[in-house]
Amino acid sequence: MLDFFTDPYKDELIYSTIARYHYYSGNVDFRDTIEECFGKRTMIPTLEIGGNFEYLSKTLGKRYDSESLIAKHTILPYYSLFIDEKAKKEILEAIKYKGSSSIYTKLGIIAGGICKKAGIFYCPICVAKDIKEYGEAYIHREHQLEGILLCPHHGTLLKQYSLKRTDVSKLEYIRFEEQYLNFEAEETEITDYDKHIRLAKSSYYLLDKDLNATCKAKVFNQYRYLLYKKGFLKGNNTVNQRKLYEAFISYYGKAFLKQLASEIDYHNEYNWLKVLSRKSKRASHPLRHLLFINFLCENINDFFKNIDACKIDEIKKRDKVYAIENANANKLKAYKAVILKTINNKALTRTDIRNKCNKEYVYLYRYDKEWLFNNLPIKVKASIDNRRINWNERDNYYLKLLKEKYEKLIDEDPVIKITRGSLAKSLGILVNIEKRLEQLPLTKSFFAEVCESTEAFEIRRAKAVIDKQVEFDIKNIKMWQIQRMAGIRTEHFKNIRYELQKYLEEKQVKTDYGGKKKT
């Protein structure tokens, strides 16, 4: 048992605590400190989590238990909420009795490779406050989280400590020294500041609150419930991925997501937004979970406050009762008033009213369908147009529209698959074309010429990735990197690898000898 130990401060990483212990103990060799704390001389310090906590807690006596140290003085709580119970137990056991080197994939730290932090970070206001209160600065765990740029307490831009772990021996623990700290808060204008500070506060919430009773399954159920509340669940209980993607991109903007290495390729079936909204076993980075939570919920506290009460037993089909919530009398009254006010506009049809008051219409359809149908305008019978259609003229007209649409789609970024649907749906002519395609020979021929098979689309998608890599003068481009960036399954990639390798070589030759950029 140690004669004394530097008690960890609020949210201090255990790494920082041991660095202070080494300083005050008078030890010269860090291996002596490591042996005193962990019982062996060969353990490599890790900043964010560490290991062998069970031995450390016994060395400290009854003052600390290993699980309390892990919960309050590592960043594990940031990750553990979003992994399943079995993996969580395995990870905890590894950290308690071994080290943390084997747990990163399970935590989702490697998954996605999000905004890696190369050094140790601090908030200038926090360290000044710590020195005033405790006489010394220490390493806060909330400042080391990947993707977090701001201090959750003061909203200031985090600074990187001038001494890096690569500058010292791999056995050395770095302690904050006042002479190397910069106490001036940056006044740099930060794009999307509100989104960044919300992420910082949300990430600290995960560290600060005791969420042990919350598990991945409960988080997923809450996702489903909020997706339903926001209208992203279809009648068959699946997520409307296109609608969700468009709303999510509209909410954050592509530039913000790119800054956080969290771009979304809609056509990749395993993009992280689809993974989170489906019941997937894949690990996703906590930062992406927070992006999703902040999109679904105004306040992270609200997300977790009622998480145990949230049960989605079943969402039955459209003409049956929903088991998610009981109809609220005040809500019924308010929604009926909205519908009646809208109906006063005599020019609106039932479809117009449904589109205009979608939320109210859907709620009343589920809970008081009889009242709704009794008050909606009388159905208007579709008039039959008996005029003869000039199909040659219609064919040429459709062809013109489709060619214009094709020119736009082919330049889209991210790449969109060229199909009948992607070409014709937004033009409002898809249904007519599908019914009358045999009477539209030019249109049919155009579809045959430009519509892509899955393989053709994957080739074009991969070539677009290659073009970008070459354009930015990326060296030593590997085919596995192209596969991952293009989001192509391994069994599919095998079939197109040769063609892509040849394309890459041709592009590199042209860049090297035919059109090298001026710098």
Computed over every residue of the chain, the mean pLDDT equals 85
Closest CA to 492 of 335, 512, 484: 484
Q: Report the C-alpha gap between 53 and 35 in whole angstroms.
A: 13
pLDDT digits (tens, 9 = 90+) for 75-130: 999 998 888 888 888 889 989 988 766 676 666 565 445 778 889 999 999 999 99
Q: What is the distance in angstroms between the CA of the first residue and the CA of the last residue of the chain?
A: 63
- Would you give the DSSP letter of residue 52? -
Q: Which band of pLDDT confidence, cut at 50, 70 and 90, is reported for residue 1?
A: low
Q: CB within 8 A of 348, min separation 6: which ones?
A: 342, 356, 377
Res. 175 pLDDT band, cuts 50 70 90: very high
Q: What percent of the chain is predicted at pLDDT more than 90?
A: 44
Check residue 515 and give its pLDDT. 52
Q: Which residues contact 454 (CB under 8 A, 6 or more apart)?
A: 492
**173 vs 379, more confident:** 173
Q: Which two tokens stand for residue 496?
A: 């197109």
For residue 33 the two structure tokens come to 């400190």
* Nearest residue to 78 via CA among 114, 53, 102: 114
Entry field: residues in the chain: 519
pTM for the structure as a whole: 0.60
Which runs of consecutive H residues, i.e. helices, occur in 425-453? 430-436, 441-450
Rounded CA-CA distance 519/516 in Å is 9
Calculate mean pLDDT across residues 469-487.
85
For range 226-244, the mean pLDDT: 86
Task: Name the phi and psi angles at 87, rounded to 5.
Answer: -65, -35
Burial class (CB in 10 A: 0-12, 13-18, 19+), 483: buried
